[in-house]
Every structure is written in C-alpha cells, then in structure tokens.
Chain A
Amino acid sequence: MTGKKIVWVAGLIVAGMCILPLSLGIYPQHVLIVSLFYVMMASSWNLLAGFTGQVSFGHAAMAGIGAYTSGILAVKAGVDPWIGVCAGTALAALLGLALGALCLKMGGIYLSLTTLAFSQILHIVIVNEYDVTRGTMGLQVPGLVAEYSKITYYYIMLAAAVLMLTILYRMIHSNLGMNFRAVQNDEVAAKSVGAKVLQVRVLAFTVASAMAGFAGGLYGHYLLLITPEIPSLDLQFKVLAMTVIGGMGSFFGPIIGAFALNILEEYIRVYGEYHVLVFGLVALVVARFAPNGLIGLWRKFRPMKTHLAVK
C-alpha cells in the first residue's frame, strides 16, 4: 500500500470507529474501550518483540508501572490524573531504558527470563506493599474526567490509540524501523554495516515501555480500580497471544489480534475458566496453520485473488 492510500484507509477506519459506539449500548462500549487498551499494548509489544526480536515478558509490568504511578500520585498527593499519566509514562520509559540496558547482551530465552523475573518482582512488591498499593484489594483512583461517561472514555482511548499507532507507523517506516528489522534478522551483520545495534535495542525497549506505561495509566483511570491484574503474567500472555495470532512483525497484525481476541473473550466468557482453553486452542491452530498470524493468512491469499483478477 502506498503512503497516500494508507492515510485514506486509516482515516476511514478511524471515522468508522468514531461513529461505531454511538449505536451501541454501555457494555459493548466497554468492550471496545478495553480492546483499544489491548491494541496499544499489543502494538507496542510488537515493536519490541516483532521488530527487534526482544521477546520481553515485562510489558504488562510496564503498564502496571504506568497505572500505579499515576494512581498513587492521585490518591496520595492529589496529583491531576493527566499529569499522573505523563509521570507514569516517564517512569515506565526510565525503567524500560534500565531493563533494556540490563538485557543488552542477552538474546532469546535469557532476555525473556530476565524480563519475566522483573515482572514477578514487581507483582510481588505491589501485592505486599498494602499501605501504598492496597494489595490485591486494589487502589481506588479518580477518573480522567469529572463526569464519568463511557463514550468520553471511548474517545480518549481512541485518540490515544490513534496517536500511538501513528507514532509506531512512522517509526517502523523510518530508517530506525529498518535498523530494527536488521537487528532482529542478524545483529552481527547489522553491526557490520554500521547500525548502532546497542542503541537501537535500548531505544526500542524505552519507547515500547513508555507506550505500555501510557496505555496502563489511561486504563487504570478508566477502570477506577487498579489491581495487580494489570501487571500480571495473565495480561502479558494475553498481549503475546494477541500479537502472535494477529501477526507478529506486521503493523496491522496486533491491532486485528487485539480486537479479535478481546471480542472473542466476551463470547466465551460464559464457559468460565474454560475460556482460557479456547484461547490456547486458537493460538495452537494459528501457530500450526498460519504461523504469520491472521495478517499472514490474508497476505497469503491476497496475491491469488489479484492473480485471478488478471486472468
């Protein structure tokens, strides 16, 4: 797709997304808001895992950093939630920078395990520091707007997602994005042609973490109750599943994956704990039959169509 065409398509989709909730009830609106949170999480995780090959398990933890930073500032110091979200984003970026630097010389499973450990440590601290975080009871926080309305939150989340996706799209299609992919493909070769591999890796970590912190901050103020479920492995693996099922390493894959899985979850929720089983099965089927995700499946069949059209 050319640049101009993509702007048109994106514009139409966003316009559609603006109108969509007006005809929907409160509950479907809620589902869409949560989906938008996952779009931000999966897309930013994709930058890290899909574009630079750093499979971090600390992404949900960064969302937790964003949510709890903003929440605690609001509750303990009366800081305005919008400023709190900015602070949460900054702290997540800082921790992302540190974690990225720590993992610099690591690849593959070692990086994953280190970030997993980070995530678990954070989870344990949050659960146990009851005085500050209210533990598993959850921290009640004020909202982003004075009068609570789903539709307002929907537009806030939509604007945030569009902003983030625009940044990601531009980044992926810039020189930096090209270096991201080169680093993922072969670090040694990337270095040999002049790519600043260490900088590229740390930058990806910092940007992705900041984005997770931002998404988490907004999400916390939407839920009004921040619990350790945000910085949990459950959420991390859900983000991972969305990205992989949608199509890792592609721009649209995680967006599609986030909506697909989050909406699917609503339909299978009635089966209680078994809904996790369905998730697993979907992931299994996709991994076996469409290793490049839903977007890969679409790409695979698209050329056949154009081919037929030519005939």
Chain B
Amino acid sequence: MALLEGHKVSKSFGGVQALSQVDFVVERGTIVGLIGPNGAGKTTLFNAVAGAFKPTSGKVIFDGADVTGLPANAICRRGMARTFQVTRPFAAMTCLENVMVAAINRHPEKPRPFIEAFAHEKLDFVGLAEMEGTEARHLNVIQKKRLEMARALATEPKLLMLDEVLGGLNTQEISQAVEFIRSLRDRLGLTVLWIEHVMGAIMKAAERVIVLDQGQVLMAGNPAEVVADQRVIQAYLGD
C-alpha cells in the first residue's frame, strides 16, 4: 500500500481554483519529485496534505488512515514532517532549542538530557552542530533550510516533505545536497516528497516525478519520461 495518496484533492481561495481534482500516489521508500511552473499549486498541495489548511474537497490518505482536514500537529504525530519554502525557524530560540521543540513533541515522556542529545544528533546530521547555541535569526538562508530539515527529522517522520531546499546553492553544494537527501532514504528509510525548481537535482534523485500545472496533475512518471513529455516542455516553455 502506498504511504501517501491524494484522491481528487481540490482547494479554492475565493474564486481562485488553486488545486483541482489532484490525484497522486507516493510509494513507501521512494523519492518523489513534485515539479511545475510557478503558481502551479505545489506548495498549496503541501499545505493541503500536511494540514496547514483543509482541502475544499477530496481525500488525503496517509499510512492507511484518512487524514483529510486534520490539524497539522496531529498529522505530524502520524509521521509526516515538512520544511517551508520561505523558512520558518523559531527565530528567537537557539538552533538546539528549535530542534528540541520537535523532539519534546515526539518524545514528551523522555527526560531533558535525552532530548538535548537527540536534538544535537539531528543538528549534527545536517551539519549544524557547531551552531547549536546560536539563535536561529542569525543564520543565513541555507543554514535555516538545514535547521528546518533537522527539526523535521526530529519528529521522526515516515514521510519528509521538502519545499525547495536547494535555492541559493552552487553546483557543488547541490550535488552534496542530493547525496544527503538520498541518504535520508537509504540510511533512515524515509520516503521523500520533494518540491524543487532545480530540475537536474530532481532528475538525479527522484524515482518518480509528479508534474503540476495550473492546479492540475499534468503527468506523473519516471524522470526520463517526464523530461521527454511534450506537455511538460510546453508547460515550462510555453507554446
């Protein structure tokens, strides 16, 4: 059974139909890319799936249960974690505290030393260990993205949803990041749903790619099929 399924997920804001009847499947243990031109509805789909807001209609099935319209915190507890396109760190808290917030909500019964060690390990995992005492507002954008990833990992998710984590990286950093995201799957057994504009990275890392355009699924398939598809090229380049 797939880890995450969307059935005819729709969302409208007033008169604007941001998502219409989106069907998609994310299989366990895969890295799935979610691409599409600006305004296609990628982040809206994330928000509707992760509980930031309710879909107007349709169903979201996660890990065998209907989670449609559940609040974000309840969905998180079921094993779905996310990062934000525009980062949202707890600005006035240290990096360690940022991750600890996630840890205490995953392990409320555990004592503080365990939580601190657990959070430290996650920071170390994303390469921010030496920044643990720094307040998050002092980080640069790339560090903030990493912090969000550590925070998401501290919720011990089954599914990690990444929203444009490669923005602002150079070529070498991108290939490191791709390796890192692959290792999440290979070492931690995570399933990854990943919004990205850096097409080369998605094509390298993802087994499947879902293409959104104007709030609808344009197509879904393996990377080679997607780049060769005439509709996708048109959506990106215009007629």
Contacts and interface: CB of A to CB of B under 8 A. Distances in A.
B73 A196 contact: yes
Interface stretch (B100-108, B165-173, B219-227): B100-108
Contacts, number: 76
A186 B105 contact: no
A185 interface: yes
B115 to A, nearest CB: 8
A189 B90 contact: yes
B118 interface: no
Contacts of B108: 175
Contact of A178 (B51, B88, B89, B104): B104
A192 B102 CA distance: 9
B145 to A, nearest CB: 13
Interface in A194-211: 194-198
A178 B73 contact: no
A45 to B, nearest CB: 19
Q: Most chain-B Cβ atoms within 10 A of its Cβ — which of A179, A182, A190, A193?
A: A193
Interface residues of B, number: 29
Interface in B190-235: none
A189 B108 CA distance: 18
B81 to A, nearest CB: 7
B93 interface: yes
Interface in B62-115: 71-73, 76-77, 81-82, 84, 88-93, 97, 100-102, 104-106, 108
The dominant DSSP class at the A interface is helix
Nearest to B52: A188
A192 B82 CA distance: 7
Q: How large is the interface on A (under 10, 10 to 19, 20 to 34, 35 or more residues)?
A: 10 to 19
Interface stretch (B23-31, B36-44, B148-156): B148-156
Nearest to B90: A185
A189 B105 contact: no
Given A178-B101, A188-B52, A189-B84, A194 B106 contact: yes
Interface of A: 175, 178-179, 181-182, 185-186, 188-198
28 contacts: A175-B105, A175-B108, A178-B100, A179-B101, A179-B104, A179-B105, A181-B93, A181-B101, A182-B90, A182-B101, A185-B89, A185-B91, A186-B90, A189-B88, A189-B89, A190-B90, A190-B101, A191-B71, A191-B72, A192-B72, A192-B81, A192-B84, A193-B81, A194-B73, A194-B105, A194-B155, A195-B73, A195-B101
